[in-house]
Chain A
Amino acid sequence: MKEKELRNLVKESGVRLVKEGLVRGTWGNVSVRFDEKSMIVTPSGLDYMSLTPEDMVLVDINTLEYAGENKPTTERKIHAAIYRERPEVNAVIHTHSPWCSSMAAARTEIPAVSESFIKSIGGEVRVAPYGLPSTSKLTNATVSAIRDRKACLMAGHGVLVCGESLEDAFQVCKILEDAAQKFISDKVSLIIGKGDVGLKEIKEAFERASEIK
């Protein structure tokens, strides 16, 4: 695919993530592999809905050097490291999606709940130990946690997903968010002994769980 088409694809993916409720405001980032040496990533601190394909940044995956006025996402180190280590990966998405963020805050793995989950993601979703944003510690921990998988949680931060294409990575994001929601809803049901889970039930489960602590 040509550079222009890929830039457009990254922009469209950003908008799709916002519309699906997987990303809010300027949180999260998206990239695609352009060629052996470079990737196209979303810029730092700009709203997905107002981005244009031209705002995307071409970044060297070995040196992290970039062209143009926009600064690439601060998480570019992680994206680049995954492209270097995983030749089959052509797209990386980082989100702070609501349910996965709660799992990341609890630093709890998302279990492999079904055959289709294992087929899509590769197994249980591990948690990369905490590291300050933009540090080598965080990059190394994330690359290690996502090994042999298409996703990992980043402790106290969010979720990282990779795929053979942007569509593939996008679908993994959705599967994960659904799995995280189900995991938490099941916990709520278990605590309060009711099946349907809404805000009222979450409040009740939180109050009971807080008392136990």
Chain B
Amino acid sequence: MMTEDKMIEKIKGKIIEIGKLLAEEDLSKKGDTVSVRLGDGILMTDPNIPLAELTDKDFKQILRGDNMSILEALHMAVLGYKKEGNAVIINQAPYCSIVTGKMDRLPAVLDDFAQIVGYSAKVSKSDNLIDILLALKKRNACLIQNGSSLAVGRTLEEAFTGVMVLEKGAKAFVESTIIGNPVKIGLFDSLLMNFIYKKKYSKKNQKNLLEQFKEKEE
């Protein structure tokens, strides 16, 4: 059976992989961070290291009660608020940044956005922690006033899909506005797709990451 240290190394490896993918998709800049739930605390990447250049030394384990930076407190608070979530990605994506400066919410104009994010993604009123948590109410993703995007997932892959869909939806919204006609996905259709998506994946990924890795090993 695998020791906890070895499992943490495996989780780090997975985060490094996700970081590279984000950079390949042009969805990452210096300052972006990824965290995962680890027992009572979190394991988080160093914001000074670009996600594409992460090594297994660029992680910090943070426990409840530790002294924290604002960014560390945000990751901790998001996972505290979203009990079903196990992973958080905060990144800077080009089209999401365009939307945050102009809108208070990004509506769903593509149905995969409606399915995975919901009828819309809110833009937080400020960079303040409480405002960001308010923007996440009933949602697993939001945009942050400073131009970043945030997605929570039950797995790292789900959080990664969240930031991908946010950016895809932002690009479609921005460009369909330029064309002259962004058509929102209907509220009923959005709610239905989002409900089915959540139900489909609810049983699969309820365990925390450590347990998920443990299961894979067994």
List chain A positions with a Cβ less than 8 A from chain B: 24-25, 27, 96, 98-99, 101-108, 130, 132-133, 155-157, 183-184, 187-188, 191, 199, 202-203, 205-207, 209-210, 213
Contact = CB atoms under 8 A, between A and B. Distances in A.
A96 B112 contact: yes
Contacts of B111: 130, 132-133, 156-157
Nearest to A103: B179
A202 B180 contact: no
Contacts of A199: 94, 98
A99 B171 CA distance: 9
B178 A184 contact: yes
B183 A187 contact: no
B177 A156 contact: no
B177 A209 contact: yes
Nearest to A184: B175
A104 B110 contact: yes
B173 A191 contact: no
Bin chain B's interface residue count: 20 to 34
Q: Is the interface of B mostly helix, strand, loop or mixed?
A: helix
23 contacts: A24-B168, A25-B164, A96-B110, A96-B112, A99-B175, A101-B110, A102-B171, A102-B172, A105-B172, A105-B176, A105-B182, A106-B175, A106-B181, A130-B111, A132-B193, A156-B109, A157-B110, A157-B112, A202-B178, A206-B178, A207-B102, A210-B103, A213-B177
Contacts of A213: 177
Nearest to A206: B174
B102 A105 contact: no
A202 B175 CA distance: 8
B98 A203 contact: yes
Nearest to A207: B102
A132 B196 CA distance: 12
Given A102-B179, A206-B102, A27 B112 contact: yes
Interface of B: 25, 94, 98, 102-103, 109-112, 115, 161, 164, 168, 171-183, 185-186, 189, 192-193
Contacts of A206: 98, 102, 174-175, 177-178
A159 B181 CA distance: 18
A58 B98 CA distance: 44
- Of all A-B residue pairs in the complex, the 8 with the closest CB atoms, nearest first, are A102-B175, A106-B176, A105-B172, A105-B109, A105-B176, A106-B179, A106-B181, A206-B174
Given A103-B176, A132-B192, 16 more contacts: A101-B168, A101-B171, A102-B174, A102-B175, A106-B176, A106-B180, A108-B176, A130-B185, A156-B183, A156-B185, A184-B178, A187-B180, A206-B102, A209-B178, A210-B103, A210-B177
Given A25-B164, A156-B183, A202 B98 contact: yes
B89 to A, nearest CB: 15
Contacts of A130: 111, 183, 185-186, 189
A205 B178 contact: yes
A73 B179 CA distance: 31
A213 B185 CA distance: 19
A107 B186 CA distance: 14
Contacts of B185: 130, 156
B110 A106 contact: no
Contacts of B175: 99, 102, 105-106, 184, 202, 206
A207 B177 CA distance: 9
Nearest to A21: B25
A203 B177 CA distance: 11
Given A156-B110, A202-B174, A106 B98 contact: no
A114 B83 CA distance: 55
